Chains A and B, each alone.
Chain A
Amino acid sequence: MMREVAVIGVGLSRFGERWNAGLKELMAEAGVAAIEDANVKSSDVEMLFGGTMASGRFMGQEHIAALMSDELGFRNIPAVRIENACASGGSALRLGYMSVASGIHDIVVVGGVEKMTDVTSAEAGTALGGAGDQEWELFQGITFPGLYAMMAKRHMHEYGTTEEQLASVSVKNHDNAYKNKYAQFHKKITVQEVLDSKMVSDPLKLFDCSPISDGAAALVLAPLEVARKYNDTPIKILASEQASDTLRLAARESLTSIKATSIAAQKAYKHAKVSAKDISIAEVHDCFTIAEIMAMEDLGFYDKGKAAKAVENGETRLNAGISINTSGGLKGCGHPVGATGVKQAVEVVWQLRGEAGERQVKDARIGLTHNVGGSGATAVVHIFGRAN
């Protein structure tokens, strides 16, 4: 019999170019905040799941789960690193959830970290390229902006999506990040500034792309039945689902939809006994502006081909129909790849508790996180709700 699982504590490091913080400092910043928030003792923690994509490529450091555990003062507990490209954090959360739901562990810490700014941007691009099919995509010089650019171009071809609509995703996410003290960017931008930014891979410009970032995120899980012992406002995990697909974009059935997302989402709605209409806040994987539009469609918030117009009309801003990427998303808050999936959950927990400050969404009751690896070979969807 599966147990119900709650998030009892969350923490983030500040995201950005953190030249004076290495992996250890970032992990400690987020991890200490999470265990203090959960009001657990270090000795209560039974296992740690740590998400990171490419700490070896970025820092020469592998084996980071044990490192994370030691830095946080968890003595000799089992600790394991989860690598699932940009979905490493979401995948770590799902494994943490499974370990508590199964009854194997009670108090579990899920962390995510990436330290990306110690290498050149070309080296970072090569490291991230490993999230696709190295032999056929990266080998031929097809970068990640290039892959998402091909999805964008096809989306424009099939649905008439415009560059201005793509830009409006970035503008909204910068507006939200402006209200988030942990975010990498605190600068509002305009559609025209996005359109005028440097072309990376047409139609995607620099301001259509999430940045290279340093950062860490952590949360503490417990069985719901004991959660109130630690925290007055535990947030229940209503569903934790995941799906995979081909690493190669070319091998997919569609370029304008991420099938792994729709499969994971449908399973998650079913498990949580909710529908897309019940979701009031969502953190979706906007590694590129087109990715947020496809996510809105694949998660069922909008019909195929209708999401871009909705963003342009402001339907996904704070306190609009559905508030998407209240943290600022990957674009505005930053995208330290291994941390992102955990950070999304941290933001949703703050929103559901009513602790999101200036960017608080009124009456946020059910929230969703959506974390993608590569160009869609992995998708992880979690649904959270207040534990009333």
Chain B
Amino acid sequence: MEKPSAGLWRKIKPRYNLVGSQCKKCGSTYFPPRIVCKNCGRESRMEDRQFAGDGEVVSFTTIRVPPDTFKDEAPYIVGIIKLSEGPNVEGHIIDNGRKVEVGTKVKAAFRRMYVDGEEGLIYYHYKFEPI
């Protein structure tokens, strides 16, 4: 194991299930979840919000020079996805053979993201699949 995994586990709900937050006062939706609503500040009343995972590509690129953690995964496609409920989310776009363009419709999926060395954890995460 090469690095501590607490950073994965403490965000397991959003990372695995695309759970963000919504302010009950103004209705704003957020992913990843926030404690304080950007509109309401100290008046925020935040609760969990499950996102459906439907969205569309705002922009994307292929990472060919990865950080060490992703050296076995490169090249891989990442993008910014506008979720149907509002927020923009960054994530991997699965290469399923379909062409990825600005505006491509995607659906969230649960996938392996990377493996932390030979003996470390397998990191799973949401990704987006072109449909």
Contact = CB atoms under 8 A, between A and B. Distances in A.
Nearest to A151: B59
Nearest to B11: A135
Contact of A140 (B58, B61, B78): B78
A122 B71 contact: yes
Given A135-B7, A154-B102, A250-B88, A142 B63 contact: yes
B63 A146 contact: yes
Contacts of A77: none
B113 A140 contact: yes
Contact of B79 (A136, A150, A203): A150
A248 interface: yes
Nearest to A253: B88
Interface string A298-334: 0000000000000000000000000000000000000
Given A139-B7, A154-B102, A249-B90, A201 B68 contact: no
A141 B69 contact: yes
Contacts of A199: 64
B76 interface: yes
Contacts of A129: 67
Contacts of A255: 58-59, 80
Interface residues of A, number: 35
A157 interface: yes
Interface residues of B, number: 33
A interface, by DSSP: helix, strand, loop or mixed?
helix
B59 A157 contact: yes
A249 B62 CA distance: 16
B interface, by DSSP: helix, strand, loop or mixed?
strand
A141 B73 contact: yes
Contacts of B90: 136-137, 140, 142, 248-250
B70 interface: yes
Contact of B92 (A140, A149, A154, A249): A140
Contact of B114 (A141, A201, A248): A141
A102 interface: no
B76 A141 contact: yes
A145 interface: yes
A153 interface: yes
Interface string B64-98: 11111111011010111000000111111000000
26 contacts: A122-B66, A122-B67, A126-B68, A138-B67, A141-B66, A141-B67, A141-B69, A141-B73, A141-B78, A141-B114, A142-B63, A146-B61, A146-B63, A146-B78, A150-B61, A154-B58, A198-B64, A199-B64, A201-B61, A201-B63, A204-B61, A248-B90, A249-B80, A250-B90, A251-B88, A255-B59
Given A141-B92, A251-B88, A255-B59, 11 more contacts: A139-B7, A141-B74, A143-B65, A145-B63, A145-B65, A150-B61, A150-B78, A198-B64, A201-B61, A204-B61, A250-B90
Interface of A: 121-123, 125-126, 129, 135-143, 145-146, 149-151, 153-154, 157, 198-204, 248-251, 255
